[in-house]
Amino acid sequence: MTTAKLNLTAKVTEPITLTDTAITKVAELITAAGADEPLALRVAVKSGGCSGFNYDMYFDSEIADDDVVSAFGDVKVVIDPASAELLTGASLDFTDGLQGAGFHITNPNATRTCGCGNSFS
C-alpha cells in the first residue's frame, strides 16, 4: 500500500458524520497532541471482538492513495476503503457525563452490538 503525508486538499467524501460535540473534542485532542505535522482522525473497522468487528480510532499523519477523507471544519477523518463500506451512514458522537466520557459510533450497518459498545456484527 502506498502512503503519503496527509494532504489537506485530498478528495472529500463523507462515509461517516461527526456531531458538533465530536468535532469539538477531536479538534481539542489534536491541538493537545501538539504534533509537528497535520493530524487526522483515522477511523477503522477491524476483525475481532465478541460480535465480529471492532472500531479503532487514532490520530494519523499519513493517508493511503485509496483512503477516504472527510472534512468537518478543521477536522479531517481518514477511513480505509473496506472500513468505509462498513461505516456508511454511521455517526460519531462524544459524550461527557456521569456515566463516563467517550466517543460512540452509531452504525446503521450493525445488526448486533456488544455490551461494550465497541464490537458489532
**CATH code of the domain in which 101 resides:** 2.60.300.12
Please report which confidence band the pLDDT of residue 116 belongs to, taking 50, 70 and 90 as the band edges.
Answer: very low
Asked if residue 121 is part of any domain, the answer here is no
Asked if residue 105 is part of any domain, the answer here is yes
Asked if residue 100 is part of any domain, the answer here is yes
Please report which confidence band the pLDDT of residue 6 belongs to, taking 50, 70 and 90 as the band edges.
Answer: low
- Per the CB < 8 A criterion, the answer to whether 34 and 83 are in contact is no
- Per the CB < 8 A criterion, the answer to whether 43 and 85 are in contact is no
Asked if residue 29 is part of any domain, the answer here is yes
Asked if residue 78 is part of any domain, the answer here is yes
Can you give the pTM of this predicted structure? 0.77
Asked if residue 120 is part of any domain, the answer here is no
Any residues with CB less than 8 A from the CB of 33 and at least 6 apart, and which? Answer: 39, 59
Answer yes or no: is pLDDT of 113 > 60: no
**Torsion angle of alpha carbons 46, 79, 103, 118, nearest 10°?**
-10
Q: Compute the mean pLDDT over every residue in the chain, rounded to the nearest whole number.
A: 82
pLDDT digits (tens, 9 = 90+) for 18-75: 999 999 999 999 999 988 899 999 999 988 655 578 889 999 999 899 999 999 999 9
Asked if residue 18 is part of any domain, the answer here is yes
Q: Which domain holds residue 74?
A: 3-115
Query: How many structural domains compose the chain?
Result: 1
Asked if residue 46 is part of any domain, the answer here is yes
The proportion of the chain whose per-residue pLDDT surpasses 90, expressed as a percent, equals 55
